[in-house]
Amino acid sequence: MTIGVIRERLAGETRVALVPAHVPDVKKLGARVLVESGAGVAAGYLDEQYAEKGAEILPDRAAVLAATDLLVAVRSGAAAGEDAPTDLEALPEGAAVVAMMDPWREHESFRVLSGRRQRAFALELLPRITRAQSMDVLSSQANLAGYRAVLLAATELPRMFPMLMTAAGTVVPARVLVVGVGVAGLQAIATARRLGAIVSAYDIRPAVREQVESLGARFVEMELQTGDAESGGGYAREMDEEFYRRQRELMRSVVAEQHVIITTAAIPGRKAPVLVTEEMVRGMAPGSVIVDLAAERGGNCEPTRVDEVVSVPVAAGADSGAGSGAGSVRILGPSNIVAGLAYHASQLFSKNMVTFLATILREGALRIDRKDEIIAATMIMEDGACPDRERASVLGVPHGGAGGEA
């Protein structure tokens, strides 16, 4: 079994799927590791480091792909953009791919996988079960996203986060609201608290209140009938439009008090719910900052534009205590915020990857137990077809598959 590692080609993607420290772990699974020269440079990992750990370095991308039985990548499929089909066509027929693949929409790369009878495992589909925690790329990367979002906000905000008492006077702390208390939200709360801000948090799942308060933040309560607000996979469940309308009404006064808002509410495969309207933004203090971590899925903030900074003028009479904000609120919509932490993001992703590989590799060969809950959830392509009928329809590929072990 030859495992290939290539340089990510999507613009702005600086992570690498396997770091040098984990090459020996892959080799213990009976696999040979081929690395495209420069694959890890953007993340801070040099070819020499891979070679020292036992990987083979090839200068030619096409040569790596042609010799690869199993390709590991940060992004493939729809997640890798226009270049993904080209790389998949360069892989041998029957090869396998393990990566984040955005398996919720049609894309040419899925037709290539089908036509070349290649296996594909989408890591975003890992089930939220105890055994899969060490493979959960969404959680490991979201943790870093929450941290990075607060740092971006602190840089953009014309205020300090902490209280500061000096001979020249007292600086009052900034007020931060985190919307969505998943992995990213919890890390955002913890980071903002460490920086000294007054932090509040809101989530439609009342069960997260204890987690919020354990980090020293205030849980924002709203008179809403949340019902079963959590899906079986541990994610927030999508609610109806009437629920979101009522939620926005109740949130208006909370938003007006904040200097920073971090929004993280996303539902895998769905458009992100709009929780902060433009009207709410206009009611904030000049100079306030919003970092919308759901920008790639449409955004939780109405004016959000992916990978842009949008300035929204504040309404007349809004509190001007935010300083030199030039009368506007700045909204940041980063689509790949963890790329700014590529060294550690790659390290965590790589550990997730190696743990997943240990589930499908034995003695240097693929051993696919389709009855395994993790395999059943993540395998989106096998032998030219998608095992899940509904997903096959979404991806635009044939449906099929058999039970048992390969």
Residue 273 CA to residue 282 CA, distance in Å, equals 19
Question: Quick one: which of 59, 87, 71 has its CA closest to 16?
Answer: 71
159 catalytic per annotation = no
Residue from 25, 69, 87, 136 carrying the catalytic annotation: 136
DSSP lists the bridge partners of residue 177 as: 200, 261
Residue 274 CA to residue 333 CA, distance in Å, equals 13
DSSP 399: B
DSSP 220: P
**Token pair 């769905």: residue:** 270
Give the 3-state secondary structure of residue 23.
helix
Residue 69 CA to residue 94 CA, distance in Å, equals 8
Structure-token pair, residue 324:
């030199």
Q: Are 235 and 212 in contact (CB under 8 A)?
A: no
Count of C-beta atoms within a 10 Å radius of residue 227: 10
Q: Where are the alpha helices (DSSP H) in 313-365?
A: 342-360
Residue 231 CA to residue 403 CA, distance in Å, equals 26
How is the beta sheet containing 56-58 ordered, strand by strand?
Answer: 56-58, 32-36, 2-5, 70-75, 96-100, 119-122, 379-381
128 catalytic per annotation = yes
Residue from 60, 131, 133, 389 carrying the catalytic annotation: 133
DSSP 269: T
Residue from 116, 117, 128, 246 carrying the catalytic annotation: 128
Structure-token pair, residue 251:
């949130």
Residue from 109, 114, 118, 139 carrying the catalytic annotation: 139
Structure-token pair, residue 164:
């500061």
Annotated catalytic residues are 128, 133, 136, 139, 235
